[in-house]
Amino acid sequence: MGEKLSEAMAKHPVLFPDEILSLIIAGEEAGQLARVCKRIGIAQKKSSKIIKKLKNGMIYPAVVIVLCVVVVIVMSFTLVPAMSKLFASFKTELPMGTKALLWLSDLFMHKPYMAALPFVALYFFFSNWGKIAGTKFMQDVFIKMPIIGVLVRKSAASMGFRTLAMLVDSNVRLSSALDITAKATWHYHYKNLFGRLRDHIAVGRTLHESFLMESHWLGPDGRNICGLIELASETGTGTEMLTEIADDYEEELDGLANSMDKLIEPLTMMVLGVMVGFLIYAIYGPVFALGDVILPKGSKK
């Protein structure tokens, strides 16, 4: 009906999110729509390949978490009720962990339907993971975690620099390219980065000066990126350098995704160890104190 491609795509926001729509609009305005569409296809293919590897790496910890919940629920219906009679006969103060486990067991025994609540919570957690991960609080938590933080930084930086390189290469004005990149980047740290870069460019600063002033948003890679941007400004290879930076981030992210199992395994084992330690403490803590019950302190033979 004579509509622009961007207008037709805007009617289907589920299939074409705002970041894709912004790139299409920029391509139309710059007269480089075919080139932008080709770049989007290549970028989406790379991103989907990396995301698939990351999802496969998260299967193991997800299974471990579900099994931990199942074990706690089964013990609440079987072992804990039997042990509660023994604990009651001690007539002594129980550890906090034991009290929590006894309370949970009593809740499940009197209201069995509550046992389904953890699985419902896990279902909603995994099905709404995208919205949860998109909140500023969770993004701050992720970026500060030892292993996950590296993946988050490289993923967001890779997407941001790839988008910026693609737009600059398509002859989109730099300030507009930075504005679109800020909208297309999923992590709010990098939204702030590219938004601030746009503001610096708007008042007449160079790209190198802008990156130098906002390098702290890039974390440990900030100094290296600034050095590369400065080199590109001196040699006139800005577009190539942005593309090279995006390629480096994608290669590093791809390598991390390939070794996801080895990276996640220590974290998974730590969670499993905490869960097992809690159960041992909660169940056997009073048993270890049985000597104090049989032979109270200060008793004499």
**pLDDT (tens digit per residue) in 215-238:** 888 888 888 888 888 888 777 777
User: Residue range 255-274: average pLDDT?
Assistant: 76
List Cα–Cα distances, 122 to 62, 65, 139, in angstroms: 10, 9, 19
Structural domain contains residue 269: no
Check the CA dihedral 244-245-249-252 and report its sign.
positive
* Tokens (6 digits) for 102: 């006894």
Integer Cα distance of 46 and 99 in angstroms: 51
Q: Are residues 232 and 148 in the same domain?
A: yes
Domain of residue 114, residue span: 60-126
Residues 159 and 70 in one domain: no
Q: How far is CA 155 from CA 159, 233, 248, in A?
A: 6, 25, 11
Alpha helices per DSSP H over the chain? 5-10, 18-30, 33-57, 59-77, 79-90, 96-110, 117-127, 129-133, 136-144, 148-169, 174-184, 188-202, 207-213, 222-235, 238-258, 260-288, 290-294
Residue 174 lies in a domain: yes
Distance, in Å, from the CA atom of 162 to the CA atom of 145, rounded to the nearest integer, reads: 25
Residue 295 has what pLDDT? 53
Nearest to 287 by CA among 98, 102, 79: 98
Nearest CA among 72, 102, 71 for reference residue 84: 102
Task: Say how far apart CA 129 and CA 189 lie, in whole Å.
Answer: 19
pLDDT greater than 80 at residue 18: no
Residue identified by tokens 């993946």 is 151
- Residues 250, 217, single domain; the answer is yes
Residues 6 or more apart whose Cβ sits within 8 Å of residue 133: 139, 142
Same domain, 83 and 151: no
Q: What distance in Å separates the CA atoms of residue 298 and residue 301, rounded to the nearest whole number?
A: 10
175-188 pLDDT, tens digit per residue, is 888 888 888 788 88
| CATH code of the domain in which 194 resides | 1.20.81.30
Q: Is pLDDT of 250 > 50? A: yes
CB < 8 Å & 24+ apart, contacts of 113-121? 115/73, 115/76, 115/77, 118/69, 118/73, 119/69
Q: Of 35-49, 96-110, 197-211, which has the strongest mean pLDDT?
A: 197-211
User: Angle, nearest 10°, between helix axes 59-77 and 117-127?
Assistant: 170
Taking residues 50-59, report their average pLDDT: 72
DSSP one-letter code for 217:
G
- In this structure, the answer to whether residues 217 and 162 fall within a common structural domain is yes
pLDDT per residue over 192-221, tens digit each? 999 999 999 989 888 888 888 888 888 888
- Is there a single domain that holds both residue 168 and residue 213? yes
Tokens of 263: 């990276």
Same domain for 144 and 245, yes or no, is yes
215 domain-assigned: yes
Final residue before a domain boundary, out of 99, 126, 153: 126
pLDDT band with cut points at 50, 70 and 90 for residue 300: very low
Indicate whether this model's pTM tops 0.75. no
Same structural domain, 118 and 178: no
Q: Are residues 153 and 220 in the same domain?
A: yes
Q: Are 153 and 219 in contact (CB under 8 A)?
A: yes
Share of residues in the chain with pLDDT > 90 (%): 2
Q: Mark whether 181 and 233 lie in a shared domain.
A: yes
pLDDT (mean) for 122-140: 81
Give the pLDDT confidence of 66-92 residue by residue, as tens digits. 888 888 888 888 877 777 776 666 666
Is the pLDDT at 280 greater than 50, yes or no? Answer: yes
**Does residue 249 sit within a domain?**
yes
Residue type, 104: L
What confidence score (pLDDT) does residue 243 get? 82
Q: In terms of domains, do 120 and 158 share one?
A: no
Domain boundary among 82, 101, 126: 126
Inside any domain, residue 152 = yes
Work out how many domains the chain is built from and give that number. Answer: 2
- Write down the residue that tokens 């290296």 correspond to: 224
Flag whether 25 is in a domain.
no
- 240: number of CA atoms within 13 Å, CB side? 7
216 and 242 in a common domain? yes
> pLDDT value at position 199?
92
**Alpha-carbon 81 to chain mean position:** 39
Residue 160 in any domain: the answer is yes
Residue 301 above 60 pLDDT? no
pLDDT value for 184: 79
With respect to residue 74, please indicate whether it lies within any of the assigned structural domains. Answer: yes
pLDDT at 19 over 80: no
The domain boundary residue, chosen from 243, 258, 273: 258
